[in-house]
Amino acid sequence: MSKLCIRSARVLSPADGLDETGDILVEGGTIARIGGTVSCPGAREIDGRGLVAAPGLADMHVHLRDPGQTEKEDILTGCRAAAAGGVTSLLCMPNTSPALDGPEAVEYVRKKAESADARVFPAGAVTKGLRGREAADWRALKAAGAVALSDDGRPVADAAVMAAAMRAAPEIGLAVCAHCEELSLSAGGKLNEGAVSRELGVKGVPAAAEDCGTAREIALAAAYGVPVHICHVSTRNSVAMIRDAKRRGVLVTAETAPHYFALTERELLRRDADYRMSPPLRTEADRRAVVEGLRDGTIDAIATDHAPHTPREKAGFLTAPNGAVGMETSLAAGITYLVEPGYLTLPQLLEKMSAAPARILRIPAGTLRAGGNADLVLFDPRERWTVDPGKLHGKSRNAVFKGRELTGKVKLTVCRGRVVFRDL
Ligand code: DOR
Ligand code: ZN
Ligand code: ZN
């Protein structure tokens, strides 16, 4: 059995109440020993001094594009990108081609992911073909290995179908992840509706398009007393509604993505389609509200909405599809834009990137304990590096942090006890 010993790292696992300097011994796929000084004869040794060892990150919002759009990404390259970002578990969205709306498609993903560099947990579609009208067979999706339901990329157009999914999901053992967007308000919009869309003379997507969707999902969760998870929160009013709903005891959870806490619509002035995504980058007031939502616990989790598109597709500012890749920069973006300015502590950031998503999805991730899965990330919390899209491990290059200097560099990622990324 292969043995790996990480020596004298800051071992940090918020869910385990762990923050101490010590060793970690990995044997096979499990953590054999953790904390203190561990004797490990015959093990490959890694010097962890000055580095942080944490549970592998769990990214609860990823587009792997497989099946059907493998020129953008495939399951294996997407998981290589995950490994480079310290992500060892991810939820992949069902807007593939064909969609993950039946057991065969979910089984295809599970099977192909067996040899991948990260654990892949599929989300099945709420509706057939993600058309928003006709319910998919949710029990069959669960039986095939789905852990969540979502029509991400689009909202579930029919509120009654969404209500039925939200009511059935807890019984079946699935989470429901909602892409909140009122299509009648967002149709034809290319970026946030506001100063920048007016300056560029381009049709905008109003914040209200997202807020109407958020309001509907909260109303359904409140009416039926069932959970709902709100994807990629980007507006101040959505943050406020989620905060209020939580105070009232509604079972709502929420995620945001690094671009929403780090960037604003002003990035679009460069007319670079890599900064176009759905929902769009918003105003500085929205960005600040997202940060405050993370700070006060309104927003539970940070996920990337990793959405690869080819350079060719992204060449036209207004014709390009929405989305940006993010798994290789999310930890560094969190350290740079949340921890360094003092909005979150490093343990709080790690909790939102590992334990919180694991709890929401009920997947075995986000912990670091003896006898548990050997899924971990070792990173330098101080190293500064410049994001070079040419050096990304996924297939696509549409990275919004390109050219930026970030703090925090992943040095080693271990998934199922195997070293899947190394920069040491
Ligand atoms: O920016 C986005 N890209 N938002 C979505 O909702 C879908 C995603 C994609 O699939 O590219
Ligand atoms: Zn979405
Ligand atoms: Zn998405």
CA 244 – ligand 1 centroid, Å: 27
Check pLDDT > 70 for residue 48.
yes
Domain with CATH 2.30.40.10 in the chain: 3-53+373-422
pLDDT tens profile 134-179: 999 999 999 999 999 999 999 999 999 999 999 999 999 999 999 9
Of the candidates 31, 15, 20, the residue with the CA atom closest to the CA atom of residue 414:
31
The Cα–Cα gap between 277 and 307 comes to 9
Q: Are strands 18-27 and 3-13 parallel, antiparallel or unpaired?
A: antiparallel
Q: Is the CB of 150 under 6 A from ligand 1?
A: no
Check pLDDT > 90 for residue 40.
no
The Cα–Cα gap between 75 and 406 comes to 27
pLDDT tens profile 17-26: 999 999 999 9
Give percent of the chain above pLDDT 70.
100
Name the residue of 305, 306, 395 to mutate for ligand 1: max ligand atoms within 8 A of Cβ. Answer: 305
Ligand number nearest CA of 213 is 2
pLDDT tens profile 361-408: 999 999 999 999 999 999 999 999 999 999 999 999 999 999 999 999
Domain with CATH 3.20.20.140 in the chain: 57-361
Q: Whose CA is closest to atom 7 on ligand 1?
A: 153
pLDDT of residue 395: 97
CA 281 – ligand 3 centroid, Å: 14
Largest CA distance in the chain: 66
Q: Is the CB of 63 under 6 A from ligand 1?
A: yes
pLDDT of residue 2: 84
Per DSSP, what are the bridge partners of residue 378?
53, 412
Q: Mean pLDDT, the chain, as a whole number?
A: 98
The Cα–Cα gap between 262 and 330 comes to 11
Q: Is the CB of 279 under 6 A from ligand 1?
A: no
pTM above 0.75, yes or no: yes
List CB contacts of 347: < 8 A, sequence separation 6 or more.
Answer: 12, 14, 19
In this predicted structure, which of 29-43, 128-142, 331-345 has the lowest mean pLDDT?
29-43
List CB contacts of 168: < 8 A, sequence separation 6 or more.
Answer: 138
Q: Is the CB of 72 under 6 A from ligand 1?
A: no
pLDDT tens profile 303-336: 999 999 999 999 999 999 999 999 999 999 999 9
- Helix (H) / strand (E) containing 408: strand 405-415
pLDDT of residue 1: 67
pLDDT of residue 363: 98
**List 101, 117, 305, 375, catalytic entry:** 305
CA 269 – ligand 2 centroid, Å: 23
Regarding the domain delimited by 3-53+373-422, which CATH topology (the fold level of the hierarchy) does it fall under?
A: Urease, subunit C; domain 1 (2.30.40)
What's the mean pLDDT in 246-273? Answer: 98
Active site residue 305: yes
Regarding the domain delimited by 57-361, which CATH topology (the fold level of the hierarchy) does it fall under?
A: TIM Barrel (3.20.20)
Q: Is the CB of 304 under 6 A from ligand 1?
A: no
The Cα–Cα gap between 380 and 365 comes to 21
Q: Whose CA is closest to atom 5 on ligand 1?
A: 153
